[in-house]
Structure 1
Amino acid sequence: MPRFYCSVPLSRGDTLVLPPGAARHVQVLRLQPGDEITLFDGAGGEYLAIVERMGRSDVAVNVGAHDPVEREAPRAVHLALGMPANERMDWLVEKATELGVSSIQPLMTAHGVLRLNGERAEKKVAHWQAVAVAACEQCGRNRVPQVLAVRSLNDWLAALPAAGAGERRSILSFADGARTTGGLLAEAPASFTVLSGPEGGLSAPEEQEALRRGFIPLTLGRRVLRAETAAIAALVSLAS
């Protein structure tokens, strides 16, 4: 059954005109009145809905029963990463969403080639958020991870509050004594924040600043992974 994200709150019994994005998708699929679809609004669970009217530019549906099903990861994993260039960031957002990421923090770093500010940054974040929505529609997630505003790594680190009791913060690193994902999972934390570098890696001062602020060095093995591969590998290990 086709699934669509609805950016307005849903409630059983409502007759609703779908937001433009969802309506456009319904029209592209050439659905007709009486056809069933699944809607979710990000607040948890999903709703059965029936198409009532197909207009030239709008679609009306009747919202039916709520199914409280959840398909989230057993623990929250937040990715903070130096943005890879070109389409690699799109790919990373899509796959991280499918794998259960809770949020994505795009960062500008010393070695990163992607520099975003002002309106250009806002447009990119809106685009990545749309990628995350589409990935949720495809994979069955009912909660959409937030793609946060682009920040510099130093500003982001400086603004971080103290870590909570059930939170672990880690930085992907080749440093001697780096922990393994299995070792961190053995501590049974409720959530992880994982900091990963861009194509050129984090600079030595950036890594030292993260360590000074309590980030634990985390190893994924002895092979050097691409920036997007490393972030996904960490997510697979920690969120599953």
Structure 2
Amino acid sequence: MRIPRIYHAGPLPAEGSVKLSEDATHHLTRVLRLSEGQPLHLFDGSNHVFDARITVADKKNVVAQVHAVRPQDCESPLHLHLGQVMSRGEKMEFTIQKSIELGVNVITPLFSERCGIKLEGERLAKKIQQWRKIAIGACEQCGRNALPQIRDAMNLDDWCAEHEPGLKLNLHPRARHSINTLPLPVERVRLLIGPEGGLSSEEIAMTSSHGFTEIQLGPRVLRTETTALTAITALQVRFGDLG
């Protein structure tokens, strides 16, 4: 059986005993039904793997003994910041999960003029926490040891106005440029993915005023979740570590 990978919030020791979180305890004892003596791989976001073994396992507590630590870098040389206008239901969860598997470093959920999500206050805060848990699960599954950042939600205008080095890209079906025509090298990309109905003409003009380059992925119109994953994959093939 594959050794389970578990994220631990907070620095892990090179050697020593660690009490795991409530979520990890539930997963290990109720879902995987692991018991004392079984091995674990722990990570804390520091890009290291901590080899451990379970010493206590009951319904309320799991304690692991760390006995070795080693660097394990699975990060792409391309730094990707995804600005994703929020989509309905499971589409946003799917986009977050799969984009992290593909190597995205930062995700900012966005509100736009045609955004189909109306969240605020406590409901929005709970949704952000849920997406952060999905990010942790994606890292546990795909082998990443550096935890990507899920930022608080922002308005599209504010996100576009932020100062960040690197190439800024906005997907548009009638753009003149494609990812293959972008000049090499590129180390950082800020990628904007709009809602199902697309950005308004005013929003497109606004992104251009902030230095975003419009690119297209091909002759077909893709759904927002398909667009994000297709663009990320193409960027990783050209500038990152896929292919």
TM-score interval for Structure 1 and Structure 2 normalised by the shorter chain: over 0.9
**Cα pair 1:20 1:58 within 8 Å, conserved:** yes
Aligned pairs, number: 234
Q: 1:162-200: CA deviations, max 9, x gaps? A: x42xx10110013442x211222x421111010110110
Change (3 A) 1:171 1:85: same
Q: Identify the match of residue 200 of structure 2 among 199, 203, 210.
A: 203
Name the % identity: 35
Q: How does 1:1-240 map to 2 (within 5 A)?
A: 1-28=3-30, 29-158=32-161, 160-161=162-163, 163-164=164-165, 167-177=166-176, 179-184=177-182, 186-239=183-236, 240=242
Q: What's the TM-score once normalised by structure 1's chain length? A: 0.93
Q: Which moved more, 1:97-106 or 1:68-77?
A: 68-77
> What is the Cα deviation at residue 79 of structure 1?
0.7
Structure 2: give runs of 5+ residues left out of the alignment. Answer: 237-241
* Partner SS, residue 52 of structure 1: strand
**Cα pair 2:173 2:221 within 8 Å, conserved:** no
> What is the Cα deviation at residue 11 of structure 1?
1.5
**Cα pair 2:175 2:216 within 8 Å, conserved:** no
* Partner SS, residue 108 of structure 2: strand
The residue type equivalent to 1:172 in the other structure is L
**Cα pair 1:15 1:62 within 8 Å, conserved:** yes
Q: 1:179-224: CA deviations, max 9, x gaps? A: 211222x421111010110110111100110111001111111210
> What is the Cα deviation at residue 81 of structure 1?
1.4
**Cα pair 2:173 2:216 within 8 Å, conserved:** yes
The residue type equivalent to 2:224 in the other structure is A
The residue type equivalent to 1:168 in the other structure is L
Structure 1: give runs of 5+ residues left out of the alignment. Answer: none
Q: Distance in 2 between matches of 1:65 and 1:218?
A: 46
> What is the Cα deviation at residue 45 of structure 1?
1.7
Q: Distance in 2 between matches of 1:69 and 1:182?
A: 30
Q: 1:40-79: CA deviations, max 9, x gaps? A: 0111121110101123301111112112111122211111
Q: Distance in 1 between matches of 2:108 and 2:123?
A: 16
Question: Runs of 4+ in structure 1 displaced over 6 angstroms?
Answer: none
Q: What's the TM-score once normalised by structure 2's chain length? A: 0.92
* Partner SS, residue 205 of structure 2: helix
Q: Distance in 1 between matches of 2:8 and 2:111?
A: 31
> What is the Cα deviation at residue 95 of structure 1?
0.6
Q: Please report the RMSD computed on the Cα atoms of aligned residues, expressed in angstroms.
A: 1.3
Q: Distance in 2 between matches of 1:132 and 1:176?
A: 31
> What is the Cα deviation at residue 91 of structure 1?
0.7
The residue type equivalent to 1:52 in the other structure is T
Change (3 A) 1:175 1:208: farther
